[in-house]
Chains A and B, each alone.
Chain A
Amino acid sequence: MLTRRQFVKGAGVAGIGAFVPVPASAARKKRDRKALKAKPPEAPSRAWEDLYRNERAATVGDAQGYAFHCSNCQGNCAWRVYAKDGIVTREEQLAEYPQINPHIPDANPRGCNKGAINSQAMYEKDRILYPMKRKGKRGGGKWERVSWDRAIAEISEKVVDILEKHGPGGLMVYAGTGIVSQGRRAGPLRLGSLLGSVRIYPSSAVGDMFTGASIAYGIPNVGHSLDAWFETDRIILWGINPNVTRIPDAHYLWEAKYRGAKIVTISPEHSSTAIHSDLWIPIKPGTDSYLAMSMVHVILKEGLVNEAFVKEQTDLPFLVRKDSGRLLRDSDLKKFPRENVFYFWDRKKNAPVEALGTMGHAKDTLRLGEADPALTGSFEVKGKDGRPIAVTTVFDRVRAEAEKFSPEATARVTGIHPSVVVKLTRDFAAAKKAGITIGFSLHKYAWGVLACWGQALACALTGHAAETGGLDTEHQWSLGGIGPLSNPKPARFASGGLSEWISGRMWETFKTHYSDEREFAERAGIPPAEVIKIADESREKKWLAWFGEPRGRILFGDNIFRRNKSQVHYQKAVLDGTDLYVNVNFRMDSSAELADYVLPGQSHYEGWDIRGDVGYHRFANLIVPPPGLKPVGEAKSEWEICRLLAAGIEAAAKRRGVPKLVDAAFNVKKEGKDAPVVRDLDTLHDDFTMSGKLKTNQDVVKWLLSNVPAFKPWKFEEAVRHGFIVLNENAGFTSPLYTDKPYHSFEEQVHLKRPYPTLSGRQTFCVDHDIFLKLGAAVPTARLPLHPKKFPLAFVSPHTRYGIHSTWRSNKYMMRLQRSEPYVYLNPALAKRKGIEDGDRVRVFNDVGEFAAMAKIHPGTPPHALFMDHAWEPHQFKGRSGMDAPVAGLLSPLELVGGWGHLKFGAEWDGNQMAYESSVDVEKA
């Protein structure tokens, strides 16, 4: 018999490990099967069973709370948290959400593998336990433990330095995507807003803006709550892998399939979602705009157009000048024109007629009345100078463009057989309720904007909208009422994509990687230098907002040096230009380790919070820490940290005689006159706490519950008892949220005929901005991916099931379910060609950067691309050169525009930082 010691010892010797043989006597002994069944084995006493009963009782503990996980996961799931002697023992999904309708599966349980190990992760050894100040150079890994008092005093002193020298724009106070809940985010937002600090748009900084939807609808985040999948007949999952990235809602898909829905997945790799779909369509990476236009081609060619819908709900009947390609405006026809008034050709009157409901029109309706807009035709209208102007329709323009993209013509680019496109399109058009759900992959390609715009067009042409389906990006609720808490004064809210481009000097890696100007120009329509010029133009003309480079950065929940592209290059560029870098974090991530000061924040179960913005479901969850929970080290809530900073900055400013800063960048009305905003450093703490009303994060949750309209009528005590609340009907943006039906965008537009928040007041498929015209993209079209040929493999990094970005990514329980280190997926044929075997260490490289990883041979990965799961921490790689090191800087020129109708910088429009357009090579290390 093997002893325990031998078993353990043997296990420690790697590489030997054959099976350990076992004495055969017992195993070979014959047993009479029937006798065995007839005579149950003796169990003299079952008292020992208490062993496991007692273990379970210990995990249930002596105190309970509620939580969700405030990471950049839109899942937003309610959990019950168990604690014993002040220490969290485990968590379990609450699973108490009410079913909204007996014909739709309930939402229980919500919560995934990451949530289920947070009780362990919060005590892991990567946890930051007390304030620390770096000793030696940044990133040197040497720290000095300091007191909270000293840390706050020193940081505050340096903040006032920066404010004095550079003004409010010299400081960035930014809550990144690691903190997205309304409670915890409020602290950094409020402090930054009072100080006038720089903050960037998180969505676009990480390439998550659905700009194609912004163009079409004026809103990037549209679609439905995910229970609506269950009622959809034809579901197209395009560039999304819900089995991995929508874990709590994926069940609605497979339940819909049992209900009879047909589900199609379109993705380059044979994903976890593809395996359950009725059809997987393998598409070549970055060619999605071709497939979208090919669908549009089939719809038009086969007459699958819902004309009534198109005439009323879209700008497709709008008239376009044949000479300039611009929309026919009031200014073309009248000496004293109104802005943003457009025309269609009324077939009844046989004359141009003003379209109601446009941005500049006095009448706020899409109702056509007696008019019958022509979708197609060539017409002449009389210009203001009396000369005729030749015009056609947007619809005809669209048709001419779509003509180029027949399934046969696009097959070579997309790799998709024409018959597949035809069937896909016919089924989509014919289905009563059909939807296209897209994920965050598409807009990480340069032409994701076109793909998404083309998808919106396919939905519009076939009349799929509101309760009959349509485009689903990532629906969000409109909570309302939060402004006075998070934005008491104007902050410097800047573009995400453009700011990172400038901060990281990203044009440098862009130029290096896209050095073949002809190749680039053939695909983009303009040479690389032109992209840089457009980015400069965007900044100068304030198309996208930018307020200069901050010299000080106070970051909360932002793994800035993980998420940015050209990682090594970006890191140097940013740190070289930064005088003060403070990172608030619960764990030592790849960005905290480079800071000047690290402040210990709380993890998910430790502080009061509420989150209700996510439109996947209708529940706003609370964090109610288990009573008696012991703090982890000296961790404090974001609210408390910001409050301490407010007090510290106030004290330092008063001492140094800078009680107030006049901030001329913003004006407010004062006694009827414009006056610059004043940053009141001398009352900062009192202003931050709303004169003492908001002392703690619990006060903040109370404030939110009484001030956010969508949270009513829930009382604090009631909400705390349940752990979640149900949003009321006001949570919907463009439709009511009914109590017993899934939510769909745009019911107000489709049924009440209210205009869309776009220039045309309609779903918009013509943008006559100079840049769009220059790029030949005034109507939806397709462009080739930009992957330079000089390296053979497209590099694509979709989201993983083992992390929400970098959160939980390096957790040991998650690492144990993978390969214990970062790995890349290689198609077997590629691996063979490169002489690489499964488990080999490989080098992935290009002219921008490189990283090392393990090779995982994966038949579902396409042969001409290299795939890798997203967001491994750079510090998990050899030399801390992470997976984004070889990703070149890139902005999509179409996303840099502004000053055109609804394409104006703000929450609904910004330019993404691209992630999937770089090429790499791979070799055995």
Chain B
Amino acid sequence: MSKRQLAMVMDLNKCIGCQTCTVACKVQWTNRNGRDYMYWNNVETAPGKGYPKNWQESGGGWEGSVLKDGKIPSLANDYGMPVQLNYEQALFAGTDPWLKATNDPAWTPNWDEDEGAGEFPNSYHFYLPRICNHCTNPACLAACPRGAIYKREEDGIVLVDQSRCRGYRHCVVACPYKKVYFNPLFNRSEKCIFCYPRVEQGIPPACAKQCVGRIRHVGFLDDEAGPVHKIVVKWKAALTLRPDFGTEPNAYYVPPLSSPKFDAEGKPTAEPRIPVAFLEKLFGPRVGEVLGLLEAERSKKARGEESELMDLLIAYRQEEMFKIR
């Protein structure tokens, strides 16, 4: 266990699915060097198959103290081959009849965007941004036969030592979130590094700093003055994703409220359109409690009373969302 843990809170009530984080990360890290297919940060639609496809059913994680078996997603069918387009042929040479993907992908990182579930007008979905969870009990680390994965003492960031990794991909199998990626060009595994080269200079990770929806708070879990401690520890308003995987993630989520379902006549009911049972599967049994807390604090604020939690989530100044030193 690291001495300190840097963590991130993502507020799903503010996430607009714009993918600015996704491309901020991509341009910062993964648009080169064999990483093109990787999305260290992705935003998927829940419910949905996500990225890589069906990652929640791909195994890995812990069963008690035993690593569960799992699968390596296929590049073509589960991650999706990065789309290439015939710009030159279709637009300049006059040889291709129209502009299209040259590799006809079977899946993309966001294939089932906005789909969700339910029946009109009671359909439901929300956006689920995902990074490496920099787990307290990382399955990837445990699975690596090379000892190439370590958790940094000073901030708990989990890294794959690129000089030791030999690309065996046990980490890919073991990560139940499928957030470790095999780099076919260099034959080694890579993943989200919590932008440590930025963090070390006092600059938040690209996905968080560039989040235009202002959903991401970054700070040390034990820093009582920081936003993450306040939201996660003090207010207990954020939950981890699939806690049943046993890896103890350090990415936290404020779960999503939703508008009421309609009855057969078209009248709104008292029931939220996102089933609580579905949210419990994703975020554990405390979901209902947290949603209740959010509504209660929101009502206080509406009445003109103080609410530290609402003020934290509103985030009056972007810079207050980050406390990384």
Contact = CB atoms under 8 A, between A and B. Distances in A.
Interface of A: 1-2, 4, 7-8, 10-22, 24, 26-34, 36-38, 40-43, 45-46, 48-49, 51-53, 55-57, 59, 90-93, 95, 99, 102-106, 108-113, 116-117, 119-120, 124-126, 140-143, 243-244, 247-248, 250-251, 254-255, 257-261, 270, 272-280, 282, 411, 415-417, 419-420, 588, 593, 801, 810, 812-813, 815-821, 827-829, 856-863, 873, 875-880
Contact of B71 (A22, A51, A108): A22
A41 B259 contact: no
Contact of B84 (A18, A251, A812): A812
B72 A22 contact: yes
Contact of A113 (B18, B126, B170, B302): B18
A827 B209 contact: no
7 contacts: A17-B76, A113-B22, A248-B212, A258-B13, A801-B17, A817-B113, A820-B83
B216 to A, nearest CB: 11
Contact of B69 (A24, A43, A251): A24
A259 to B, nearest CB: 6
Contact of A17 (B29, B77, B114, B185): B77
Interface stretch (B155-163, B224-232, B275-283): B155-163
Contacts of A15: 77, 106
Contacts of B17: 243, 272, 801
B244 interface: no
Nearest to A276: B13
Interface string B208-227: 01111110000000000000
A415 B259 contact: no
Of listed B82, B99, B109, residue having the most chain A CB within 10 A? B99
A41 B160 CA distance: 12
Interface string B240-259: 00000000000000001111
A4 B68 CA distance: 24
A133 to B, nearest CB: 13
Given A28-B67, A251-B212, A251-B214, A876 B26 contact: no
A37 to B, nearest CB: 5
Contact of A251 (B14, B109, B159): B14
Contacts of B95: 141
Nearest to A29: B67
Contact of B212 (A20, A93, A419): A93
A385 B29 CA distance: 84
Nearest to B187: A4
B98 to A, nearest CB: 6
A859 B119 contact: yes
A416 B266 CA distance: 7
Nearest to B319: A108
B233 interface: no
A19 B67 CA distance: 19
Contact of B184 (A7, A111, A812): A7
Given A52-B29, A112-B18, A125-B87, 4 more contacts: A34-B65, A51-B162, A119-B27, A260-B298
A22 B98 CA distance: 41
B288 interface: no
B169 A279 contact: no
B29 A877 contact: no
Interface string B18-58: 11101110111101000000000000000000000000001
Interface residues of B, number: 137
Nearest to A251: B214
A109 B212 contact: yes
A105 B214 contact: yes
A875 B170 contact: no
A803 to B, nearest CB: 12
A819 B109 CA distance: 9
A12 B76 contact: yes
A270 B121 contact: yes
B76 A13 contact: yes
A143 B104 CA distance: 28
Interface in B159-205: 159, 161-164, 167-170, 172-174, 182, 184-185, 187, 193, 195-198, 200
A628 to B, nearest CB: 21
Contacts of A32: 65
A660 B262 CA distance: 70
A828 B119 CA distance: 8
A859 B26 CA distance: 30
Interface in B127-144: 127, 136-137, 141-143
B16 A272 contact: yes
B101 A815 contact: yes
A111 B210 contact: yes
Given A41-B149, A815-B83, A821-B101, A10 B169 contact: no
Given A48-B161, A95-B209, A258-B298, A879 B101 contact: no
Contact of B91 (A21, A93, A126, A417): A126
Nearest to A124: B87
B106 A879 contact: no
A29 B20 CA distance: 40
Interface in B107-127: 108-111, 113-121, 123-127
B116 A859 contact: yes
Nearest to A254: B14
Contact of A117 (B27, B69, B126): B27
